[in-house]
Structure 1
Amino acid sequence: MVVTSARLYEEEKVLEALNPKLRQLLIERGFKELTEPQLRAIPLIIEGKNVLLIAPTGTGKTEAALLPILSEMLSLKDEGIKLLYITPLRALNRDLLDRIKWWADKLGLKVGVRHGDTEQRERYRQSRDPPDILITTPETFQAILSGRVLRKHLRHVKWVIVDEVHELAEDKRGVQLSLALERLRYIRGGDVQVIGLSATVGSPEEVAKFLVGNSRDFKVVKVDLRRGMKLKVVFPKPNAIDAKLAERIYVHPEVAARLRYIKEIISKKRAVLVFTNTRSMAEILASRFKVWDSTFPISVHHGSLSKLSRESAEEGLKVGDLRGLVCTSSLELGIDVGRVDLVIQYMSPRQVTRLVQRVGRAGHKIGLTAEGIIITSDEEDTLEAMVIARRALKGHLEPIKIPEKPYDVLCHQIVALFQLKNKWKLKEILELYSKAYPYKDLTESNLIRLISYMHERYPRLAWFGKEDHVVLKPRRVRAIYEYFFSNLSMIPEEKQYLVIDTNSGNAVGILDESFVAEYGEPGVKFVFRGSLWRIKSIEGDRIYVVPVDDPTGAIPSWIGEEIPVPFEVANEVGKIKSLIEELANEEEELIKVLSAHYPIDRRHLKRILKPYLNHVRRGYPLPTDRRVVLESHGNYVILYTHLGTLGNRALARLLADYLAKRLGTSVGVQQDAYAIILQSPTKLDPLELKDALINLTKYEPLEVLLRSVTKLGLFKRRLIHVARRFGAISKDVDYSSIGLRKLVEMFRGSVIYEEALKEFISKDVNLEVVKDFLNKLKKGELELVVNEAEDLTPLSELTLRRISQRLEVVAPERMERLILEATKARLLSEVRTFLCLDCRDWYEDLKVSDFLQYLKCPKCGSKRIGILREGREFLDRITSKKWRNLSRKEKEALSRAKALAELIEKYGAPAVVAGVARNLTIKQIESICRKYSELNDGFYLEIINAEREALKRKYW
């Protein structure tokens, strides 16, 4: 970077505004110059402005916000918390503490961290001697605001920093935070200065308003350092080597080709992040690498793993023990994993913002290029990835939509006001909370409706005088406190369901609530862990299934986790198909045009274009952004539309309801961003579907959907989540124990029903897109074509092949071997804390495979080695107490560790491996060790069966 005299002068001015102690520390910390975000943000923060700072990862955003605040803080004499630093993830708190503590220690300031796992001793210390800077999460901030002692310390807060603000702005966690900030202002009797930090924001002005509140001034500092993001889309072609590898690890050759490509890249780099779109896919991908080569330095990272496993993976990449991490959105945010050379996105990222956020983790230093590769799974996936990559390079991010005045959050925060005083006027509450941006349009009648519900329900959450508009704290204080503290988190608790093979009685695994809500009905076929199943019945939290052979119409079990593809992306894919049709007889020109606009080379383009070109050249109509195509195959009709995930989901529900009424039989639907598949017990006529589409143009989509919404599992899921947040039903209630009709009858006409409907319409479907689609169909701006080909067209072949490969079904005869190899790889890769219970001087976080090389304490030689899941920090605390005055949790963990140590001393390696299996009791572990003295196939099969039984026991 060339440093001009003007820039030097600007930097001097900024530095002069900082306290001299800080200027000295900048030199000590190794700052040679301030970064662009720091130069632009520091003066504004010193002036007292509210600031939203948007800048790439690794450009010093934290210091840009922190340095001017520390500078001002040094002149303050009063006690109490002065800066609240709020992050969406606990894991970020850990990294931030180390980073902020360096500055604070040098300046004589105190820093604390507060979250759900903070020990009672530390909480007590913070109450007696509050830190100057408190790092916390939105949920813990709620709890702190409610505590009598800590609330007094919050009166001194002058600054609030909200990190990764984009992660909060779009959901109810963020809405809850915006109201909590208004309560903080009320407690202090004045305003606070708010600084938001983010690497990617699609709607900066909107997010800034969300951050600071309604009608307050702010400045947006957007620093586009143009680190030269470099992207390319790759569609690996399988070769003879891949065919052999596929046989060995029981996958399709196409999957083997992708694995080989990833392994080749990682082998040439120091540190690579491999992002997947779901936890399930992250587990599958990491497992396949372990089955292929157990020594390959790659691990997995996602939110469902234990803290120890995640931290071990982060540290492994940072220090170089690992060269690759397969991860999900858990590593999109700024968790420190050291320098990342390259980001691989496995399959299309589905959204532009996701891709930009993920690829932004690479380079992680000013001036370095952020490099990313998208590895795609099929032709449609490749077209989608091409569009997303182009939009990312142009900076076309999806806009952020802030929820509009959600009633469930407001109900919770009205109850929170009773912790400040017992009596409120309605206008006081309206004036206070309408300052929060999500509630800018909150009216008195909205508020009366909500508080009337809080008054009329049992137990009451508020007492409301309808004549004088006074809101009082109810007499049953215990009920409102139970409600408040059990609903601190706005993140819906996703119930899990045990899947049981009816024929064998074996536990197959666990399905998430999101999948069960949309697809959990008898007769539905789905793929789970490489096998095909059909749902026979659902009883409580157990799903009984039977194995099937035919994959047609089967749904991937991880589809509930999927990120929705926006309409804009799907529509551009349709435009590419339109161009393919236009230049079908000029293939070289087509490749030239596409390669000029999209980051993909000619070789990959030529391969993905082949099925589409074949389709057009054989005279079949190709679905595009201007043409809708219907095709029939057996009992299925495929409707090809480019409306995106939420648009097609809405249209699919409208069609299914219309056809069911017209035909007098149920119609099953599934959809992705580009097609809707409809199935009926009797053969569906595509002309019938064409008529249905034409007839739907006569109606308002919302009215049609509202008539059938109460039949939809997705709406039921929203209704249960909202009712839980209102405290109207228990958090343990599942779908099968409450019939949808009964649930609807209970809440119809209430604020609960209204809020659930609002959430469903804004999150699960896109009615605006459908409305526009139907209008264009009505005006003749969209062509509607029925393809009456008797044989499979190239497009339908591609669609069916996509479904088959996407499901990645494994032949039953190979499945047992694959499960065996995957279980071996998983158990040997598990990370635990190993502890010598004789000398107590040695404890270390290790992979099981590494410890098996020791099998004894490296310090004293003892074989009495205990195993803990909790990690080194847990043992550090125990050691600091000299193993005395232990909590119940600490005693229980040590008791199990001691029992395992006895088995390890007696049986050796089998006890170590069985000791890290899932949910096994000490008795089960000993039983397995008695049968097997070595780690052979029989041993691992015994563990597989024991884990299945343990899973059943957990849900019985």
Structure 2
Amino acid sequence: ETLQAILPGRRMREHLRNVRWVVIDEIHELAGDKRGVQLSLALERLSRIAKHRFQRIGLSATIGEPEKVADFLSGSGKKAVIVRSTELKDLYVKIEYVNPSKEDCEEAERLGIPASAVGRIKRICELISSSRSTLIFTNTREHAEALGSQVYALGYGNLVKIHHGSLSREIREEVESEFQTGKLKGVICTSSLELGIDIGTVDLVVQYMSPREATRLIQRVGRSGHQIKCLPKGYVIATWADDILESSILLKHVREDRLEGVKIHEKALDVLAHQIVGLTLDSGRINLGEAYETVKGAYPYRDIEPETFHDVVEQLHQQRIVNLRGETLTAKYPNTHRYYYENLSVIPDVKKYTVFDFNMKRRLGTLDQDFVARRCRTGAEFIMHGNTWRVISLDDENLSVEVEAATPTLNAIPSWEGEIIPVDYDVAVEVGGLRETFLKTASSRGDLTELSNLLHIDNSAAAKVLEAVETHIRDYPLPTDKRIVIEQFENCLIVHSCFGNLVNETLALILAAMLQAKYGTSILTQVDAYRIALIAPSKLHPKTVSDILLNLKPGDVANIVEGAIENTEMFAWRHWHVAKRFGAVEAKADYTMRRARLLVEAYRETPINFETKREILLEKMDVEKTSGVISKVSTGEIKIEAVQQKGIGCSPLALPIVDKIVPHNLLRPAIPSQPLAEIVKERLMSTNVKLVCVFNGDWEGVRAVKTLPDTIRCPKCGSTLVAVTYHGDQELLPIIVKKRAKKRLDAEEEEQWNRAWRSASLVQTAGKRAVLTLAARGVGPTTAARILRRYVRSEAEFYTEILKAEREYQRTRLFWD
């Protein structure tokens, strides 16, 4: 991004003319995304400036396809030399599953967290204590925060701190410094510490849950043992049967040097648009033919057609970003500069909304902007951390969503946060094959030791997998790489399909589109590497999906995906960001589903739409491998079994996805009114309020509501005319003094005086009960008077009335002036 910023600068160009070497560290991270495509074009622009033909050097410890990355680095028509290190290191990696002890169960009961989590935390902290310095990697920020809070809850907070991209730079640097100097023994982190940052010597790496990619496993464990001849050492702490098998397969791939391939964004049109503008700015004007040849010099654009290039130029011309006259492009100031510098980064600026439990006054987690825009309306219900929540209010300015606990329902929408690393097709297929291996072990009552050693997992992990398989096959057929199982659960169909995230995303899109066409109703989907959940308003028969898959032809896959993809919410969301990178949407414009849909319609058959489709098909789908799966279904190589729901639950192997789409407390009520009333009472009693004497204006004081007597009096004059205001109010007392001195009040002061008088009148009549009511959020004298006048049959009902008033204030306050 910095290179993008300095390339057009006159003074910097003079310095850049002398460049002799360009070194790209961790090149595998760039080759597979749009930042890399942007860099490849920037290097071609740099080569137009430089006096010498500079040397390009790419560095990486984890490249699955070195030849492809070498071509990407060198540019089209040029060749690179691949230099492999002779100091190839082995890795020590152990995969563990921790069974909770009796003590763990007791501690879990006390803290209100799962016993299995207590066992895992204790094992992680044991590993940290036994080493000088340990990095604990998680796959998401949510996991890092959750793990950190559990470590603190169990009393190990002195051992670790958290490090991820959402934390401020100051906090991250403080954690890095403490770790480097030895003040801190462990850091819980995401990919924020996976690459590049110098944090000193690391003795041990702990990966919490499967790393999901072989390259990630190498990169993360490789952060330890950075000295020559020193063996990198790591532990994977697995949480579930799939997690154990997946980690085992990834370790096997690492040992066989089978790393994930690189998917290069070929002919990315939004990046091309930005770089065409960059080329124009570099010299003020540029000939189209010259610009086209420069672009073709970059490997991702080596085959770009002149017509496609011209369509992008025409789009920019229509948006008045550049001026096209004949065969010459010129910069249109100030639009050209503003567009270029506002779009230096190709990473979408995705806002995070903090979710607060309104009743408990606590933070629950975060939601991505696209989920909030698509799903969060007042009254909407969604599932987070296994519980059902109803939206009370949405604050776009402060990026917050306030919710309350709701009665569990199957219509609640699963929440999601961020992009998770996809599991590769080959890995998921091998996990399916290992399930079959464990099935044979279960049938023959074979010894697990040999299998444990073969898979590099401990006996506890092998026993967990065997237990999961044995429990599942009591009532259900086992899903494997050769068997798809379609299971009904309430209004959901769970398609067990061991084909990885991208194939499952593609299958989910096809199945949802065909079910919607058949029944004329919306179908929601949730996907992981081994399952697809299809969520309908009413029950569907599993045979319906079985018939669709059996009748599908491999050649139909691409056509159905092409036709269905533009109607998805994912398309609208991605299209919005592509349009931003094209300059069709202002960089700071806020996303709404309605605007995004209108934009899709407005830009049909344009480079913006074409690029969105290309991006999704590359990053989120795999049409080719999905066609291969359908082909195997057609020939009978992959069998399909459809099963009805048995009892009130789902199959054991469906649990990981059912946990995301169905609330854990489905068969239990939401928070009952009595405990909720107690929570509200405790909160209000603990609130600090300021009391001000309205009678003489000669006293004010801050008190906690619970410390007050039933009758409230001014300690100086004994008057019962005492107003209630918030504890930090510095304005009310001077206004009362002014009023008592018979001085003129302005309109705003008069309003505050009247409010204080009404408040004091309530306190005079109802005493402490009035103070408690006025301490509630957003409850003024008018609302408080209504609550105090109302007949209530119990204390619980009284506090419920206060809570209703707080909710109403929260719901309507965003519409006030």
Q: Do the structures match in fold with TM over 0.5?
A: yes
Q: Given the alignment, which residue of 458, 482, 489 partners 1:633?
A: 489
TM-score scaled by structure 1?
0.66
- Give the conservation status (yes or no) of the 8 Å contact 2:485–2:642: yes
2:37 maps to 1:175:
yes
Q: How many residues align?
A: 679
Q: Given the alignment, which residue of 796, 800, 803 partners 2:651?
A: 796
Residue 740 of structure 1 and its aligned partner are, at CA, apart by 4.2
* Partner Cα distance (2:339, 2:148) in 1: 41
1:568-583 matched pairs, under 5 angstroms: 568-583=426-441
Q: Given the alignment, which residue of 491, 502, 506 partners 2:347?
A: 491
Amino acid at match of 2:408: D
2:566 maps to 1:710:
yes
* Partner Cα distance (1:761, 1:661) in 2: 22
- Residue matched to 1:375: 237
Q: Given the alignment, which residue of 110, 113, 121 partners 1:251?
A: 113
- Residue matched to 1:563: 421
Amino acid at match of 2:505: R
Q: Given the alignment, which residue of 446, 465, 469 partners 1:608?
A: 465
* Partner Cα distance (1:812, 1:382) in 2: 35
SS in 1 for 2:320: coil
SS in 1 for 2:418: helix
- Residue matched to 2:527: 671
- Give the conservation status (yes or no) of the 8 Å contact 1:302–1:310: yes
Residue 654 of structure 1 and its aligned partner are, at CA, apart by 1.2
* Partner Cα distance (1:529, 1:690) in 2: 31
String of CA shifts for 1:507-536, please: whole Å, max 9, x gaps.
866421354578768997544467432568
1:266-665 matched pairs, under 5 angstroms: 266-293=128-155, 295-455=157-317, 457-465=318-326, 470-474=327-331, 476-497=332-353, 499=355, 510-513=366-369, 515-516=371-372, 526-528=382-384, 531-534=387-390, 545-550=403-408, 557-589=415-447, 591-592=448-449, 594-616=451-473, 618=474, 620-665=476-521
Residue 743 of structure 1 and its aligned partner are, at CA, apart by 1.7
2:611 maps to 1:755:
yes
* Partner Cα distance (2:187, 2:506) in 1: 36
- Residue matched to 1:160: 22
* Partner Cα distance (1:537, 1:699) in 2: 47
- Residue matched to 1:200: 62
* Partner Cα distance (1:522, 1:800) in 2: 30
* Partner Cα distance (1:495, 1:693) in 2: 38
- Give the conservation status (yes or no) of the 8 Å contact 2:99–2:116: yes
String of CA shifts for 1:366-397, please: whole Å, max 9, x gaps.
11111111111111221212211221222211
String of CA shifts for 1:810-843, please: whole Å, max 9, x gaps.
996999999xxxxxxxxxxxxxxxxxxxxxxxxx
* Partner Cα distance (2:223, 2:58) in 1: 19
Specify whether residues 678 and 803 from structure 1 end up closer, same or farther in structure 2 by C-alpha distance, changes over 3 A only. Answer: closer
- Give the conservation status (yes or no) of the 8 Å contact 1:269–1:341: yes
* Partner Cα distance (1:248, 1:505) in 2: 21
Residue 226 of structure 1 and its aligned partner are, at CA, apart by 3.6
Amino acid at match of 2:454: H
SS in 2 for 1:219: coil
* Partner Cα distance (1:220, 1:345) in 2: 31
Greater radius of gyration (CA): 2
Specify whether residues 765 and 369 from structure 1 end up closer, same or farther in structure 2 by C-alpha distance, changes over 3 A only. Answer: same
Residue 499 of structure 1 and its aligned partner are, at CA, apart by 4.4
String of CA shifts for 1:15-69, please: whole Å, max 9, x gaps.
xxxxxxxxxxxxxxxxxxxxxxxxxxxxxxxxxxxxxxxxxxxxxxxxxxxxxxx
Residue 553 of structure 1 and its aligned partner are, at CA, apart by 8.1
Q: Given the alignment, which residue of 778, 782, 807 partners 2:638?
A: 782
- Give the conservation status (yes or no) of the 8 Å contact 1:275–1:343: yes
Farther-moved stretch of structure 1 (168-177 vs 220-229): 220-229
* Partner Cα distance (1:742, 1:639) in 2: 34
- Give the conservation status (yes or no) of the 8 Å contact 1:536–1:545: yes
TM-score scaled by structure 2?
0.77
- Residue matched to 1:75: none
Gapped runs of 5+ residues in structure 1? 1-138, 819-944
Amino acid at match of 1:606: A
Amino acid at match of 1:264: E
Residue 686 of structure 1 and its aligned partner are, at CA, apart by 0.8
* Partner Cα distance (1:395, 1:525) in 2: 46
2:550 maps to 1:689:
no
- Give the conservation status (yes or no) of the 8 Å contact 1:515–1:560: no
SS in 2 for 1:195: strand
* Partner Cα distance (1:423, 1:250) in 2: 66
Residue 731 of structure 1 and its aligned partner are, at CA, apart by 2.4
Specify whether residues 817 and 335 from structure 1 end up closer, same or farther in structure 2 by C-alpha distance, changes over 3 A only. Answer: farther
* Partner Cα distance (1:249, 1:808) in 2: 21
SS in 2 for 1:386: helix
Residue 593 of structure 1 and its aligned partner are, at CA, apart by 5.2
SS in 2 for 1:511: strand
Specify whether residues 800 and 535 from structure 1 end up closer, same or farther in structure 2 by C-alpha distance, changes over 3 A only. Answer: farther
Report the aligned-residue RMSD: 3.3
Specify whether residues 594 and 481 from structure 1 end up closer, same or farther in structure 2 by C-alpha distance, changes over 3 A only. Answer: same
SS in 1 for 2:234: strand
SS in 2 for 1:588: coil
Specify whether residues 242 and 672 from structure 1 end up closer, same or farther in structure 2 by C-alpha distance, changes over 3 A only. Answer: same
* Partner Cα distance (2:123, 2:633) in 1: 44
Residue 751 of structure 1 and its aligned partner are, at CA, apart by 0.4
- Give the conservation status (yes or no) of the 8 Å contact 2:96–2:460: no
1:910-929 matched pairs, under 5 angstroms: none
String of CA shifts for 1:439-473, please: whole Å, max 9, x gaps.
11112222122112222x232423142xxxx1220
Gapped runs of 5+ residues in structure 2? 680-805
- Residue matched to 2:766: none
Residue 741 of structure 1 and its aligned partner are, at CA, apart by 3.4
* Partner Cα distance (1:522, 1:687) in 2: 37
Residue 190 of structure 1 and its aligned partner are, at CA, apart by 3.9
Residue 539 of structure 1 and its aligned partner are, at CA, apart by 8.8
Specify whether residues 267 and 509 from structure 1 end up closer, same or farther in structure 2 by C-alpha distance, changes over 3 A only. Answer: closer
String of CA shifts for 1:526-573, please: whole Å, max 9, x gaps.
444674325689896775755334386877745433111111111111
Farther-moved stretch of structure 1 (428-437 vs 735-744): 735-744
